[in-house]
Structure 1
Amino acid sequence: MPPTTRTLASGPCTGATNLRVTRDGQVATLTIDRPEKRNAMTVGMWAALPGVLAPLAADASVRVLVVTGEGPSFCAGADITDLLRGDDPADPMADVRRHNLAAQAALRDFPKPTLAMVRGHCIGGGVELATCCDLRFADPTAVFGVTPAKVGIVYTPSSTRALLDLVGPATTKYLLYSGELLDAPTALRTGLVDQVVEADGLEEEVRRFADVLASRSALTQRATKEVVAALTLGDDGEAVAASRYRETIAAGELAEGVRAFTERRVPRFSWPN
């Protein structure tokens, strides 16, 4: 079945027209569609993103979300022309920061596996989007940079924490102090990306892996996401894990998984939302 395409609006936010959603089976793809600006995110796009993600999160038939950019770039960051447009001269970035943080939270808290597929520029807000995804696949053209030191702003604690969890304190400081760019091999070595795939095979590999994820237990995946988040915040994760464990038993997923293993077949999980 060919992929279906739809653009999702989000109230009065005109930025939703630059966020394109396509569906192919159980895999949804969110494409940042502003290639003439290397997919830089306007304040309207940040504001629209939670509303675009919400129906995908609620749709039980969506098992995996891929986030990518139209054309040769993933996302060149926040549109710099928005940074000084706020009404408060003491904090002209207030609106941008508020919508940016809400967008990051919506992507970070998306209840299903999320994969960033990165080509070309992944800078600033692009890195924020990529690090909010569960995993990052890139091709050799990908370059990564975090540039607040170039424009005199302070990177938010949540964005800093996401970077820190992936690459550790030294590389986090290197990126934030300097604004220097990392090429794809360096990003792989430091842990900023999980796989680097040749350019002509990137989309195929992302789709292959997305299909693998779609075939696995949704409850196991959701439990993993929740426990990892709890551990990152200093919680031991025991309550979350125990709750989800009981849920897999009640849903029959544990029994189906064991039966499928002993019968040497692919499990048929119920894929609850």
Structure 2
Amino acid sequence: MSDAELTVEVTGPVATVVIHNPARRNAMTATMWRQLPELLDRLEPDPDVRALVLTGAGDAFCAGADLGDLAELLDAGDASIAVAAEERLARFAKPTIAAIRGACVGGGAQLAVACDLRISTDDARFGVPPARLGLVYPAPTTRRLARLVGPSAAKHLLFTAELIDAERALRIGLVDEVLPADRLAQRLDDLTATIAQRSPLSVAAAKEIVDDRAGPARVAWWHRKVTSSGEAREGVAATAERRKPRFAWQAPTGD
């Protein structure tokens, strides 16, 4: 393993992507920003993968973008490789969960906010530092943050560049759960196991609709799939028979 890279491990229905750059508290290098969409492109069509966990190696999630690559990111603006990686993560067709320990700052917060759910340890710290560096946060990133935590909380993070603790992050909606460090792994196992048991059709449709990526025609398509896929028949039958459902629908490749 090199000092700075993303690694992937698939265990059962869960793919875990690990940000690994220990010398810089898992800061994302240009190579890593480029690597993330490629990994997601490979994992998304895998029928065995029902959920994806993004986390950092060791005691940090991600301390941001590697400042050695700052010039490249600034020159590209909203067309940067960091924004492209964020957007690809947000569009990943299956549920994504950021498992956060320690620092989740700048580019780390950018990636965490692009996930569907965020679970952190109680010692995690969060920050959005562009105002401390004289930078302009990318517009897609800023809007996604504001949709998640609301305009006022987003402005506080952006205006002050202050670090906030996990308790405040939970209060403003930046994270969904806060746990002691020794309970994080078990909670992730339980949560991903639950998601993996649910209808992938229901989950995929819900994600598109919540993210406002499904217009009327697409919503109608999803409703037709409920009938043609047999997912609802299986769910009702399983409930009546008091057994676990055997959901088998898979999104067509490239859909």
TM over 0.5: yes
Residue 32 of structure 2: aligned partner = 45
Residue 127 of structure 2: aligned partner = 145
Which one of the candidate residues 219, 226, 237 is aligned to 2:208?
Answer: 226
Cα root mean square deviation, aligned: 1.9
Residue 185 (structure 2) pairs with residue 185 (structure 1): no
Residue 95 (structure 2) pairs with residue 117 (structure 1): no
Residue 21 of structure 1: aligned partner = 8
Taking the aligned partners of 1:257 and 1:93, their CA distance within structure 2 comes to 51
CA distance 1:199–1:215, change in 2 (3 Å) = same
Please, which runs of 5 or more residues in structure 2 have no aligned partner? none
Residue 109 of structure 2: aligned partner = 127
Which one of the candidate residues 31, 46, 56 is aligned to 1:69?
Answer: 56
Taking the aligned partners of 1:252 and 1:96, their CA distance within structure 2 comes to 42
Q: Deviations over 1:20-47 (max 9, x none)?
A: 0001101010000112211000111111
Residue 176 of structure 1: aligned partner = 158
Residue 266 of structure 1: aligned partner = 244
**Per-residue deviation, 1:156:** 1.1
Taking the aligned partners of 2:239 and 2:143, their CA distance within structure 1 comes to 39
Residue 226 (structure 2) pairs with residue 244 (structure 1): no
**Per-residue deviation, 1:271:** 4.1
Contact (CA 8 Å) 2:77, 2:138: kept in 1 or not? Answer: no
Report the TM-score when normalising by structure 2.
Answer: 0.94
- Partner SS for 1:67: strand
User: Alignment length, in residue pairs?
Assistant: 251
Contact (CA 8 Å) 1:167, 1:190: kept in 2 or not? Answer: yes
Contact (CA 8 Å) 1:83, 1:96: kept in 2 or not? Answer: no
Taking the aligned partners of 2:22 and 2:55, their CA distance within structure 1 comes to 12
Taking the aligned partners of 1:93 and 1:200, their CA distance within structure 2 comes to 42
Q: Deviations over 1:98-121 (max 9, x none)?
A: 211110111000000000000000
**Per-residue deviation, 1:166:** 1.1
Taking the aligned partners of 1:97 and 1:270, their CA distance within structure 2 comes to 38
Percent same amino acid at aligned positions? 46
Taking the aligned partners of 2:142 and 2:68, their CA distance within structure 1 comes to 23
Residue 145 (structure 2) pairs with residue 163 (structure 1): yes
Q: Deviations over 1:231-254 (max 9, x none)?
A: 7xxx7x433222112112211101
Q: Deviations over 1:42-100 (max 9, x none)?
A: 1111111111111100111111000000000000000012113x4xxxx8532895211
CA distance 1:95–1:188, change in 2 (3 Å) = closer
Please, which runs of 5 or more residues in structure 1 have no aligned partner? 1-6, 8-13
Taking the aligned partners of 1:97 and 1:272, their CA distance within structure 2 comes to 32
Taking the aligned partners of 1:36 and 1:271, their CA distance within structure 2 comes to 43
Give 1:67's aligned amino acid.
Answer: L
Contact (CA 8 Å) 2:5, 2:31: kept in 1 or not? Answer: no
CA distance 1:78–1:207, change in 2 (3 Å) = same
Q: Deviations over 1:137-172 (max 9, x none)?
A: 001111000000011111111101111111101110
Give 2:129's aligned amino acid.
Answer: T
Taking the aligned partners of 2:15 and 2:244, their CA distance within structure 1 comes to 23
Give 1:80's aligned amino acid.
Answer: L
Of stretches 29-38 and 96-105 in structure 1, the one that deviates more from structure 2 is 96-105
Give 1:139's aligned amino acid.
Answer: T
Runs of 4+ that moved beyond 4 A: none
Contact (CA 8 Å) 1:77, 1:123: kept in 2 or not? Answer: yes
- Partner SS for 2:156: helix
